[in-house]
Chains A and B, each alone.
Chain A
């Protein structure tokens, strides 16, 4: 199971767009085999501090390790996001079989 954390600023229209885009992306790539925790940085700044988040939006792949992060607009280049998260089709298949 893949686990992700997404740090966003509240529920601005842009944040909602980022969340919706990401869910679509993860559904396509992982077919439901993931858990996404959305963290409102304005509500829980202490979590952002703990995880050393420096900007929004930040998407973190928590597991499987190693932890990977993508900062900035997640909607512009889906391929870049997937690669940055280590979610190529071959890798996803390999990690599911481990």
Chain B
């Protein structure tokens, strides 16, 4: 069974860039346009990796991370953010609460998406056999 990735970002261009970057991989990529939608999808399916935007209307990245960690302490969560103190101050609070997460710098290029995903989910999953035909 292929590994599943969930992208939670209100920016359609970001969601599309992930789908495009990973379309030749064996990974199944699902997207959600809000924290609320992402949480519902997380309830309905098991994910191996989650990319999460920090700044979203409605439930933001920090609130979404808190909800994810209530039921799943293991799934790797990468939060998209600019590397500036004003954004990191919000993350500092959840870090102090001991919630696991990593950060990835916005904007995220397709090379980084592919490289990071392969590193986290395993090289052996990297390419569809069909792409070699």
Binding site for B on A (CB under 8 A): 9-14, 41-42, 45, 48-49, 53-57, 71-73
In this complex, what residue of B is CB-closest to A14?
B100
Q: A45-B83, A45-B85 are in contact. Are A72 and B116 (CB under 8 A)?
A: yes
The reply to whether B105 and A53 form a contact with Cβ atoms under 8 Å apart is: yes
Q: A45-B83, A72-B116, A73-B120 are in contact. Are A12 and B103 (CB under 8 A)?
A: no
The one of B91, B95, B101 that contacts A11, using a Cβ cutoff of 8 Å: B95
The one of A13, A42, A48, A73 that contacts B91, using a Cβ cutoff of 8 Å: A42
In this complex, what residue of B is CB-closest to A56?
B102
The reply to whether B103 and A56 form a contact with Cβ atoms under 8 Å apart is: yes
The one of B83, B85, B96, B116 that contacts A10, using a Cβ cutoff of 8 Å: B96
The one of A13, A42, A45, A53 that contacts B100, using a Cβ cutoff of 8 Å: A13
Which 7 interchain pairs have the tightest Cβ spacing? A72-B119, A10-B95, A14-B100, A55-B104, A42-B88, A45-B83, A56-B102
**Among A12, A57, A73: residue with most chain B CB under 10 A:** A12
Enumerate 27 A-B pairs (CB-CB under 8 Å) in ascending A order: A9-B95, A9-B102, A10-B95, A10-B96, A12-B98, A12-B99, A12-B100, A12-B101, A13-B100, A14-B100, A14-B102, A41-B103, A42-B91, A42-B92, A45-B84, A45-B85, A48-B105, A53-B83, A54-B105, A55-B78, A55-B104, A71-B116, A71-B119, A72-B116, A72-B119, A72-B120, A73-B120
The reply to whether B105 and A55 form a contact with Cβ atoms under 8 Å apart is: yes
The reply to whether A49 and B101 form a contact with Cβ atoms under 8 Å apart is: no
B59 proximal to A (CB < 8 A): no
- What's the nearest-Cβ distance from chain A to residue B37, in Å? 24
The reply to whether B104 and A54 form a contact with Cβ atoms under 8 Å apart is: yes
- What's the nearest-Cβ distance from chain B to residue A40, in Å? 9
